[in-house]
Structure 1
Amino acid sequence: MAQQVYTLLVQVGRADEDGLPEDATGAALVCYASGVDEAEAVRETVSILKQAGLSPIEVTGHGSLDERLAEGHDIPEEERELMDRALEENAVIVAQMEPLFGDEEDEDDA
């Protein structure tokens, strides 16, 4: 089966020497990962992030490029270039990393 690139949203918690801001509670990462299926892409992404000193908590798959296009997603050229790179290099590309601060869900409930 041919490799495809999957878009993954990964939430990470804190870990020693993770490089996140001191007051962050974790981070949200957008990753592009190659795999024969989404499960393989998730496994590879979690493994790579752990090797990088991060602590993955939750991974949400958003599908392959073809699946996203079929759902009507508008995918900018920069995003497509990162996906192509992930496929060519059989790699996990972290496209965006946004630190998270505080317990934002509880603030909405107050």
Structure 2
Amino acid sequence: MTDAPEPKPAKPKAPEQVYILVVEVGRVAGDGLPEGATGAALMCYASGRTERNAVDETVRVLKEAGLSPLEVESYGTRDAPDGFVPGPDDLDLMDRALAENAVIVAQVTTFTE
């Protein structure tokens, strides 16, 4: 009888975090942006195990919503924001994003020419 190799211990998964993202979107038909807007910037709070995961999920959700994401900029996590000081309302939305494993659009700023 041979000794079977011991199974490797499972790698612990990284905990979910909330990432602060700003997504620039362009115009597409039916996007819901106001007439005359050339695009918009969306402040989003997205849960994810990694920044890449949060960005990918945010882009997927925005595309499903009929928007056209062009660029995503990350401002770090809730626990280590980069140049952003979240207020009480922001913290509530971040808690919700984490609890619901969701992407929350907290603010929309439209661009015009």
| Normalised TM-score (structure 1) | 0.87
What number of residue pairs does the alignment pair up?
A: 100
Any stretches of 5+ residues in structure 2 without a counterpart?
A: 1-13
For residue 78 of structure 1, the aligned residue among 74, 84, 89 is: 89
Match of 2:42 in 1: 29
Alignment check: 8 A CA contact 2:19 2:78 kept: yes
Match of 1:108 in 2: none
For residue 49 of structure 1, the aligned residue among 56, 59, 62 is: 62
Question: Could you tell me how far apart the structure 1 residues matched to 2:75 and 2:40 are?
Answer: 18
Confirm or deny that 1:92 pairs with 2:100: no
- Identity over the aligned pairs, expressed in percent? 56
Tell me the alpha carbon deviations over residues 33-90 of structure 1, each in whole angstroms, 9 at most, x when there is no partner. 000011100000000000000000000000001111xx57432111000000000000
Confirm or deny that 1:19 pairs with 2:64: no
Question: Could you tell me how far apart the structure 2 residues matched to 1:61 and 1:20 are?
Answer: 23
| Normalised TM-score (structure 2) | 0.85
Any stretches of 5+ residues in structure 1 without a counterpart?
A: 103-110
Question: Could you tell me how far apart the structure 2 residues matched to 1:97 and 1:41 are?
Answer: 19
Aligned ranges 1:91-110 → 2 under 5 Å: 91-102=102-113
Q: Of Structure 1 and Structure 2, which has the larger fraction of its residues in helix?
A: 1
What CA RMSD, in Å, does the superposition of the two structures yield over aligned residues? 1.1
